[in-house]
């Protein structure tokens, strides 16, 4: 389509096209058509020709640079844009593209100066390119475990995004805030603390510092606050802001130090702020330096895949994994086989209730094999991953000794490292032992609880921690001057347990340490609702909220994934009829039943299941709703195959549901076989010769024979 001569020029100069790039209009239209049809080569060829004739034309340079970026030619893009910016330093689009190119080559630290220049020059002229750049920065920072910096850059990206993109970025923000693998105090909003400067000159300097932070110049803002700290070392607010700005700048050591200095200064004036700053300090300290847990890899070229599989299948310290079949199209890198590597001989033994977990082999490494595809992989490849150090070294020795000349190491692969979500200390909270597939769920839950209790009482309590001045928690019981640090350490224990999907009794830990649990706080002001950090939210007294406040905070509470907070929120909502009647009560009861199961509270779990059944009777499609709750009860009772109520429940399901939904039998047979339970309908011919086809029965349909329509049948645990 021809470009309207009187429309704004596509080069974003602000001029009419007729008075700007009209002389290359034909080429611009042709290049636009090429790009729309994904014809990259002819578009690049025409752009390169145009560039020779118009090396200072913004539209030409920026489009050519964009193609370089999209095809991975980042160095070419940097060279092109650097030369252009020397003669056209005010081109905001070129600044954004240069920052993107340098970011892809050198990461955030290497591109920081260019990113700041892109914000300065491109905010008004090219806000969408700038938003795209900042979104990419946020994603990489998140993947590098700089969550505070990632969230702040994503918030900055939202400021410059189009209305359509804002919604997408908002969903990305919710994804970040709901990532329960990340310690919950690092998720959610974090606000700079109010500070009152001393004198007019200092006020002007501080205002300038805060303006820099608003536009993403976090390094400069942190430096500005550091200058003020040279004269106000006792200011807790300045130390807190210095820590936060340093964290937004993706610094490693400074945020932990700054938060600790703030905590020490808040100690006498504001216990809650002191505790939050100390918790943040200790979390960040555990995730930097030697306290990080790092996963390493070793990639090998495989001589003959079938021969190697035979060797690994027969190895006493390896167990083959059940992998899903690779997709029929795409995903050429899907593994064709995988193995767990154990620290001792593996014989498939099952875990019995009460057994010492130390008698079971621990998984120390994972092996995945990819077949040759004639494209990316000329030879089959094997990837071995394990924690850096003894685990990876031992697994490599074991694998290479077993495989012999079947494997050839790819040296560059040894440099591939990735930080684990859990630091070294907390990586011990769960031994990665092997359970046979038919180990009952209740037995696994009890074993998990034993592991957690052992870790808390024997390992954590007696391990020296840098945040505790090199002392063990057990050595600091009753030491008044370390009360703040020790309380924070107990909360950090809870934080990393939650990240591992486990629950500890924090109040019991604090009691053992002779410490008081932090008191719940009241919402001081309505405006605080959206500015509460996740740690502040967890310490909120929910009973003091009105119905509207409770409803507004419910979604944010759910994002924390904090067991105690979510359960308190659910129970408080159930006690408020005006709020409870507006929610999905079935989902509420299901979540409460699951949480009670996690707490090993069988009576509580069954109580919520029974409430769910009563609720189901009131629903328009009562049959389906009641069946779902019966199946939830079945899944729960299968945790303990000796449960005396299990067989009566199966007989009831057979009599009421399988007779009308024959397809259900196949699903249940698979479920029961996986835990070693024999169904009553397989003990005698209870079903007769009825049809096994059919779709979902409904009261309106009355029939569900072999000719009924198909469709996937819902089962508990399926999303």
399-430 pLDDT, tens digit per residue, is: 999 999 899 999 888 877 777 778 989 988 87
On whether both 181 and 313 belong to a single domain, the answer is no
Statement: residue 516 has pLDDT above 90: yes
Q: Pick the residue with more confidence: 220 or 290?
A: 220
**Least confident segment among 26-40, 172-186, 344-358, 685-699:** 685-699
The answer, yes or no, to whether residue 327 has pLDDT greater than 70, is: no
Give the Cβ contact number of residue 671 at 10 Å: 18
* 704: confidence class by pLDDT, cuts 50, 70, 90: very low
Report how far residue 332's alpha carbon sits from residue 381's, in angstroms, rounded to the nearest whole number: 12
Residue 374 scores a pLDDT above 60: no
> Residue range 478-497: average pLDDT?
96
Say what the alpha-carbon torsion angle 498, 503, 506, 511 is, to the nearest 10 degrees.
-150
Confidence of residue 2 (pLDDT cuts 50, 70, 90): low
Q: Quick one: average pLDDT of 456-476?
A: 96
Domain shared by 28 and 171, yes or no:
yes
Q: Note whether 178 and 31 are same-domain residues.
A: yes
- What is residue 50's predicted lDDT score, i.e. its pLDDT? 81
CA-based nearest residue to 123, from 157, 148, 154: 157
Residue 258 located in a structural domain: no
In a domain, 236, yes or no: no
pLDDT of 688 > 70? The answer is no
Determine whether 177 is exposed, middle or buried from the number of CB atoms within 10 Å of its CB (0-12, 13-18, 19+). Answer: buried
Neighbours of 250 (CB within 10 A): 25
- 37 and 168 together in one domain: yes
Question: Does residue 553 sit in the same domain as residue 409?
Answer: no
Residue 159 has pLDDT above 70, yes or no: yes
Mean pLDDT for the stretch of residues 291-311: 91
User: Could you tell me if 299 and 177 lie in one domain?
Assistant: no
Is 242 within a domain?
no
User: How much is the pLDDT for 24?
Assistant: 72
3-state DSSP assignment of residue 365: strand
Of 4-18, 78-92, 120-134, 653-667, the least confident: 4-18
pLDDT higher than 80, residue 237: yes
Q: In terms of domains, do 391 and 536 share one? A: no
Average of pLDDT values for 313-319? Answer: 93
CATH number, residue 29: 1.25.40.10
pLDDT interval class at 294 (50, 70, 90): confident
What crossing angle do the helices spanning 163-177 and 127-143 adopt, rounded to 10°? 10
Res 353: pLDDT: 65
pLDDT, one tens digit per residue, over 266-285 is 999 999 999 999 999 999 99
Burial degree of 636 (CB within 10 A; 0-12, 13-18, 19+):
buried
Classify 504 as helix, strand or coil.
Answer: coil
Instruction: Work out how many domains the chain is built from and give that number.
Output: 3
> Looking at 186, 214, 245, which one is the last position of a domain?
186
Model pLDDT, residue 330: 52
Whether 172 is in a domain gets the answer: yes
DSSP 8-state assignment for residue 519: P
Diameter over CA atoms, the chain = 92
- Please give the residue range of the domain that contains residue 70: 17-186
* Same domain, yes or no: 177 and 300: no
What is the rounded average pLDDT of the residues 77-84?
93
Chain segment 95-131, per-residue pLDDT in tens: 999 999 999 999 999 999 999 999 999 998 889 999 9
What pLDDT, on the 0 to 100 scale, is given for residue 514? 96
50-64, 392-406, 443-457, 597-611: segment of lowest average pLDDT: 50-64
Note whether 24 and 161 are same-domain residues.
yes
- Whether 710 has a pLDDT exceeding 50, the answer reads no
Residue 207 pLDDT grade (very low, low, confident, very high; cuts 50, 70, 90): very high
Q: Answer yes or no: is 544 within a domain.
A: yes
Instruction: State phi, psi for 363 to the nearest 5 degrees.
Output: -75, 125
Lowest mean pLDDT, pick from 4-13, 107-116, 577-586? 4-13
Does 713 fall in a domain? Answer: no
The CATH number of whichever domain residue 325 belongs to comes to: 3.30.160
Q: Are residues 25 and 150 in the same domain?
A: yes
| pLDDT confidence band for 36 (50 / 70 / 90) | confident
Last residue of a domain, one of 403, 419, 435: 419
CA geometry: angle at 406 spanning 404 and 408, to 5°?
95
Across the chain, what does the average pLDDT equal?
87
pLDDT at residue 592, as a whole number: 96
Whether residue 153 sits in one domain with residue 27: yes
User: Is 434 part of any domain?
Assistant: no
- What is the pLDDT averaged over residues 673-697? 60
- Of residues 222 and 433, more confidence is placed in 222
- Cα 666 to Cα 153: distance, rounded to the nearest angstrom: 50
pLDDT band at residue 659 under the 50/70/90 scheme: confident
> Residue 536 falls within a domain, yes or no?
yes
> In the chain, what are the helix, strand and coil shares in percent, each to the nearest 5?
60, 5, 35
Task: Decide: pTM greater than 0.75.
Answer: yes
The reply to whether 40 and 177 lie within a common domain is yes
- Where is the domain boundary, 378, 394, 419? 419
541-566 pLDDT, tens digit each? 999 999 999 998 888 899 999 999 99
State the residue for tokens 């300045």. Answer: 238
């Amino acid at each position: 389509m021809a470009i309207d001569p009187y429309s704004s020029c596509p080069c974003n100069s602000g001029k009419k096209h007729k008075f700007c790039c009209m002389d290359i209009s034909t080429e611009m239209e042709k290049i636009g058509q090429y790009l729309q049809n994904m014809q990259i080569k002819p578009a690049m060829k025409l752009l390169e020709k145009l560039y020779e004739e118009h090396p200072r034309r913004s539209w030409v340079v920026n489009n050519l640079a964009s193609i370089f970026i999209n095809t991975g030619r980042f160095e070419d893009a940097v060279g092109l844009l650097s030369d252009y910016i020397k003669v056209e330093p005010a081109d905001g689009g070129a600044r954004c593209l240069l920052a993107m190119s340098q970011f892809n080559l050198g990461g955030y630290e290497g591109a920081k100066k260019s990113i700041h220049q892109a914000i300065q020059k491109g905010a008004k002229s090219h806000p969408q390119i700038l938003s795209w750049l900042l979104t990419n920065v946020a994603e990489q920072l998140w993947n590098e475990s700089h969550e505070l910096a990632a969230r702040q850059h994503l918030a900055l990206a939202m400021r410059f995004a189009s209305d359509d993109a804002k919604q997408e970025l908002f969903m990305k923000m919710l994804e970040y805030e709901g990532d329960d693998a990340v310690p919950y105090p690092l998720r959610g909003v974090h606000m700079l603390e109010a500070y009152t400067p001393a004198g007019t000159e200092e006020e002007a300097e501080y205002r300038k510092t805060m303006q820099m932070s608003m536009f993403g110049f976090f390094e400069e803002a942190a430096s500005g606050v550091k200058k003020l700290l040279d004269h106000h070392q006792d200011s807790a607010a300045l130390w807190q802001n210095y820590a936060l700005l340093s964290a937004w700048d993706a610094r490693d050591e400074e945020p932990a130090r700054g938060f600790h200095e703030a905590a020490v200064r808040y100690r006498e004036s504001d216990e809650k702020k002191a505790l939050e700053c100390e918790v943040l300090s200790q979390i960040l300290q555990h995730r930097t330096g030697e306290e990080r847990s790092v996963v390493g890899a070793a990639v090998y070229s495989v001589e003959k895949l079938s021969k190697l599989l035979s060797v690994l299948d027969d190895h006493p310290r390896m167990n083959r994994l059940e992998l899903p079949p690779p997709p029929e199209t795409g995903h050429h890198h899907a593994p064709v086989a995988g193995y767990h590597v154990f620290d001792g001989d593996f014989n498939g033994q099952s875990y019995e209730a009460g057994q010492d977990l130390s008698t079971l082999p621990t998984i120390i490494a994972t092996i995945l094999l990819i077949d040759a595809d004639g494209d990316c992989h000329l030879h089959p490849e094997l990837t071995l991953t394990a924690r850096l150090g003894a685990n990876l070294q031992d697994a490599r020795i074991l694998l290479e000794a077993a495989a012999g000349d079947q494997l050839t190491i790819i040296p560059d692969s040894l440099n591939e490292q990735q930080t684990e979500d859990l630091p070294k200390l907390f990586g011990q909270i769960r031994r990665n032992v092997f359970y046979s597939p038919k180990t009952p769920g209740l037995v696994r839950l009890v074993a998990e609880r034993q592991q957690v209790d052992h870790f808390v009482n024997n390992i954590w309590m007696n391990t020296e921690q840098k945040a505790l001045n090199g002392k063990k928690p057990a050595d600091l019981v009753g030491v008044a001057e370390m009360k703040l640090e020790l309380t924070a350490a107990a909360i950090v224990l809870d934080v990393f347990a939650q990240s591992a999907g486990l629950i500890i009794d924090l109040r019991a830990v604090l009691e053992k340490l002779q410490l008081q649990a932090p008191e719940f706080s009241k919402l001081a002001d309505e405006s605080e609702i959206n500015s509460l950090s996740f740690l502040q939210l967890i310490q909120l007294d929910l009973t003091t909220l009105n119905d509207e406040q409770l409803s507004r905070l419910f979604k944010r509470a759910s994002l924390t994934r904090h067991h105690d907070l979510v359960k308190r929120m659910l129970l408080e909502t159930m006690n408020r009829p005006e709020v409870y009647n507006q929610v999905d009560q079935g989902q509420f009861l299901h979540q409460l039943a699951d949480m009670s199961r996690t707490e090993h509270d069988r009576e509580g779990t069954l109580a919520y299941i029974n409430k769910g059944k009563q609720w189901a009777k009131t629903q328009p499609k009562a049959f389906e709703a009641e069946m779902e709750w019966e199946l939830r009860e079945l899944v729960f009772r299968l945790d303990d195959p000796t449960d005396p109520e299990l067989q009566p429940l199966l007989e009831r399901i057979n009599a009421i549901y399988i007779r009308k939904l024959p397809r259900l039998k196949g699903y249940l047979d698979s479920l029961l076989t996986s835990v070693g339970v024999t169904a009553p309908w397989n003990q005698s011919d209870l079903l007769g010769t009825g049809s096994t086809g059919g779709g979902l029965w409904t009261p309106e349909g009355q029939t569900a024979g072999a000719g009924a329509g198909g469709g996937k049948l819902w089962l508990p645990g399926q999303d």
